[in-house]
């Protein structure tokens, strides 16, 4: 997993498949996701 920061988005991609697709999410969405992971709130 590779994570990259841009001005308004966070980009994610599979490091084993760099020519594959990229998922781009807002900084807010990524922050909310990380907060949920840290709090063990994902089911």
Domain boundaries, the chain: 2-38
b (16+ CB within 10 A) / e for 14-24: eeeeeeeeeee
Please compute the mean of the pLDDT values over residues 10-34 and round it to a whole number.
95
For 29, phi then psi, to 5°, come to -60, -45
pLDDT for res 31:
96
Would the pLDDT of 18 be above 90?
no
What pLDDT shows up at residue 22? 94
Q: What is the pLDDT of residue 43?
A: 81
Average pLDDT, the chain: 94
- Decide if pLDDT at 24 tops 90: yes
- Which residues touch 22 (CB under 8 Å, ≥6 apart)? 11, 12, 13
Left (φ > 0), alpha (ψ -120 to 50) or beta: where does 39 sit?
alpha
- Percent of the chain residues past pLDDT 70, beyond the cut: 100
């Amino acid at each position: 997993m590779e994570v990259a920061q841009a001005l308004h988005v966070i980009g994610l991609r599979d490091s084993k498949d760099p020519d594959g697709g990229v998922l781009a999410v807002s900084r807010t969405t990524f922050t909310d996701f990380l907060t949920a992971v840290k709090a063990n709130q994902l089911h």
